[in-house]
A = this chain, B = another copy of it.
Amino acid sequence: MSKGRETRQAILYRAVDLTSQVGLEGLSIGVLAKRAGMSKSGLYAHFGSKEELQREVLDAAADRFVDVVMAPAFREPRGLPRVERLFELWMWWGTQELSGGCPFVAAASDFEDRLGPVRDHLIVHLDDLLKEVAKTAQIAIDEGHFRPDLDVQQFAYEFWALVVVHQHYSKLFGYPRANERARAAFERMVRDACQAPVH
């Protein structure tokens, strides 16, 4: 890898960390440059604009998410175990791996009202995440762990709801209490998904 590509990757890695802490909007070129140990303009040369930087940060975060959450979860046996591991890893991702919180959640808060390419890019990523959850739930149906008439889209929505709120809650009311609540809610959700349909 060329020198340019290398520093570019290094910048993006720090940028993901920083985004996790201050959001995609709060990400400032100056602060990021300081953290990367280089000048503003030197950094800026790697990205045509802040907007492009933001888009690339989303991609970099997605790559990291695959490495840290998706891939390990998919090494778990198909079905319920995989769903459960996915949830645990996701909570860990949003509170430990990136101590400032999931960059996607932060970005969603920042850009839900703004129009433009960054928002569009974000939506694609979020949609992708939800699809992955739905896919994992579908496998649990195929394995006979979840009931066959389960709405996997709805399952993904509620899964995402728990992940998002877990972050808010753990930041504001403390990690242990948040974990308890999130696990209890998830268990209830899984129990419902396992239940045979009432005839």
Asked if A9 CB lies within 8 Å of chain B CBs, one says: no
Partner of A113 from B100, B154, B165, B185 at Cβ < 8 Å: B100
Question: Nearest-CB distance from A131 to chain B (Å)?
Answer: 12
Asked if A106 CB lies within 8 Å of chain B CBs, one says: yes
A157 adjacent to B185 (CB under 8 Å):
yes
| Interface 0/1 of A159-199, CB less than 8 Å to B | 01110110111011100000001001100100010000000
Identical chains bound together, number: 2
Question: Nearest-CB distance from A21 to chain B (Å)?
Answer: 6
A164 adjacent to B171 (CB under 8 Å):
no
Q: How many residues of A contact B (CB 8 A)?
A: 38
Chain B residues whose CB sits within 8 angstroms of the CB of A160 once the complex forms: 165
CB-defined A-B contacts under 8 Å, sample of 18: A23-B109, A101-B112, A106-B109, A108-B168, A112-B167, A112-B171, A112-B172, A113-B171, A119-B172, A123-B172, A127-B173, A154-B181, A157-B181, A158-B185, A161-B185, A164-B168, A165-B165, A188-B192
A residues apposed to B, CB below 8 Å: 21-23, 25-26, 100-101, 106, 108-109, 112-113, 119, 122-123, 126-127, 151, 153-154, 157-158, 160-162, 164-165, 167-169, 171-173, 181, 184-185, 188, 192
